[in-house]
Amino acid sequence: MKKMFILILFLFVMGLNAQEKSLIQTAYNALKSGNYEAAISNYSKSIEIYDKYSPAFYGRAVAYHHLGQYSQAILDFNKALDLEPNIKEVFFARGLSYSFANDLGNAIKDFTEYIKFKPESFEAYYSRANIYYLLEDDVNAIADYDMALQLNPNYGLPYYGKAIINKYQKKNDIALRFFDEYLKLNGNADNLKSEVERLIKEIEEN
């Protein structure tokens, strides 16, 4: 599964003192700039001072995710959700961490919960489709890829997913059409162009 963005949440709430706000701001800036170790360090310092601020756990979880520490990310996402159940973005972000941790059942649950909250999220449908694909549930995978495209016709990645499924189902004409659609929309934006061209060549030579 291609790595996708994780929404970054940043809020100030009443009750944070100047030091805590400074640490949160520094952590947030580090997170945005991709300095994940610094983000974790500053979020952790903030949490040591005040451990009831949900966005601090959320932000630290995002940083852990980007460092590939998915189990720790999931723990922090859980804590963020415990502290503030209305932060529904946690379900999408935690779903990605579950995906990379190969906990596919919980990934499905989280993406489904997020879709209930934000049914217009084509990214969530695409992410859930990828999990269905990994579970060899082609029917639901195709349905979610189609929904992602319905919500955003210019989003190329679902065409790639649909092409792969059709290729393995030996529906080569359909697979070629979807690979072509993917290339028209995304080109090499996902660093998949050479792989797509290889797969097209493989189909054409058979």
* Amino acid in the structure at residue 16: L
Whether the pTM exceeds 0.85: the reply is yes
- Choosing from 118, 146, 161, the residue where a domain stops is 118
Per-residue model confidence as pLDDT tens for the chain (206 residues): 334 345 544 444 445 667 788 888 899 899 989 999 999 999 999 999 989 988 899 999 999 999 999 999 999 999 999 999 988 889 999 999 999 999 999 999 999 999 999 999 999 999 999 999 999 999 999 999 999 999 999 999 999 999 999 999 999 999 999 999 999 999 999 999 999 999 999 999 98
Judge residue 35's burial from the number of C-beta atoms within 10 Å of its C-beta, 0-12 exposed, 13-18 middle, 19 or more buried.
Answer: middle
Q: Are residues 97 and 138 in the same domain?
A: no
Q: Are residues 4 and 86 in the same domain?
A: yes
Q: Are residues 131 and 113 in the same domain?
A: no
Q: Are residues 160 and 106 in the same domain?
A: no
Q: Are residues 111 and 135 in the same domain?
A: no
Q: Are residues 146 and 93 in the same domain?
A: no
CATH code at position 96? 1.25.40.10
Q: Can you give the residue range of the structural domain that contains 105?
A: 1-118
Q: Are residues 35 and 105 in the same domain?
A: yes
Alpha carbon of 10 to those of 64, 78, 79, 112, 180: distances in Å? 16, 17, 16, 24, 39
Distance CA 177, CA 4 (A): 25
Q: What is the DSSP string of 77-111?
A: HHHHHHH-TT-THHHHHHHHHHHHTT-HHHHHHHH
Looking at the structure of the chain, the number of domains it has is 2
